[in-house]
Amino acid sequence: MELTEELKRAARKTGADLVGVADLGPFKAEPSILPPHVLERFTNAVSIAVRLDDTIIDGIEGAPTPEYVRHYWAVNAALDGVTARLVRWTRRRGFSALAIPASRIEDETNLLGSISHKAVARLAGIGWQGKSLLIVSPQYGPRIRLSTLMTDMPLSADTPLKNRCGACTECARACPAAAIKNIGVKDRYQTREQALYFSRCVKQTLLFKAGPGIGTRVCGVCVKVCPFGERNRAKFP
C-alpha cells in the first residue's frame, strides 16, 4: 500500500488529475496490439487522467472546434510527460515500467491503439464506461484524457466503479452521427458494436477531420453534453 500511495502522489505532483491502479490479469483478455510477451512482463497498469479545460469543452456546439483540437493534442502531450516521468520514478526504485502514449492510433482501420486506455481506466476505478464508450469519472465526467503506465511494481489495485449513467440519454441525443445506441450496462460492453454504430462514428470523424482547422479525427460532442462533466464543475473547479 505504501508504494501505491507514493506512486499516486508522484503522479499528481507531475500533473495527473486522477490516478488509479489496475491488475493487468483481467486486462490481458482485452483486445491489444501489444505482443503477448510484452504484456507478460508486467503485473499492474497505472491509469493517468488529465482534466480537459471546461471553457474549451463548452465551446463545442455540434462539432469540434480548432481550439478543442489544439487542446486535445496539448493534453495528450502533457499526459505523455507525466508517464515519462513516472517511468523514471519507477525504474529508480528497481522496477520495470513501460509508458503507453496517449491517443496514438496503431490500427487506422479499426481505430485501435496498442492497448485500450479506457479498459485500463475502468479497471483502475478512474470511472465507468458510459454509453458513448468514454470513461465517465465522478469528478469530471468524460472531460478527461487518458494514458497508461505498465509496471511490475507490486501495487494495490483499485476497485472498478458502479455504472451511473442510468436512464440518461444526453450523449445519444446529441451525437451528430446518431451512432450511440443508448444501451446501458452494469459493468462493461463486450464489443464496441454493442454500444455504438461504430461505422457511423468513423464516418462522422472523417467528415470533421476535413473541417477548417481540424485535421484530425476528433468529435467531442458527447464529452461536452455529459451531465457528470457539467454538474460537477462547481465542486471541482
**Per-residue model confidence (pLDDT) at position 224:** 95
Give the C-alpha separation, 49 to 28, whole Å.
21
Lowest-pLDDT choice from 97-111, 182-196, 215-229: 97-111
Buried b (16+ CB within 10 A) or exposed e, 176-209: bbebbebeeeeebbeeeeebbbbeebbebbeebe
Give the C-alpha separation, 53 to 73, whole Å.
13
What Cα–Cα distance (Å) separates residue 25 from each residue in 72, 106, 150, 175? Answer: 30, 23, 12, 34
Instruction: Write out pLDDT tens, residues 86-131.
Output: 999 999 999 999 999 887 665 555 555 567 899 899 999 999 999 9
**Cβ pair 177, 153 in contact under 8 A:** no
Q: What is the mean pLDDT of residues 192-216?
A: 91
Strand segments, DSSP code E, in 15-170 are 18-23, 44-51, 97-100, 128-129, 135-136, 144-151
**Per-residue model confidence (pLDDT) at position 105:** 60
Give the C-alpha separation, 227 to 174, whole Å.
12
Cα 167 to chain centroid distance, Å, stands at: 22
Instruction: Write out pLDDT tens, residues 2-28.
Output: 999 999 999 999 999 999 999 988 776
Query: What's the predicted TM-score (pTM) here?
Result: 0.90
Query: How many contiguous H segments (helices) and E segments (strands) does the chain have?
Result: 11, 6
DSSP-assigned beta bridge partners for residue 21? 46
Q: Quick one: what percent of the chain has pLDDT higher than 90?
A: 72
Helix axis angle, 66-92 to 2-13, nearest 10°: 140
* Residue ranges covered by each domain of the chain: 2-231
| Angle ∠(162,102,18) on CA atoms, nearest 5 | 40
**Cβ pair 139, 225 in contact under 8 A:** no
> Pick from 148, 122, 143: which is nearest to 46 by CA?
148
Instruction: Write out pLDDT tens, residues 139-166.
Output: 999 999 999 999 999 999 999 999 999 9
| pLDDT band (50, 70, 90) for residue 30 | low
**Per-residue model confidence (pLDDT) at position 229:** 84
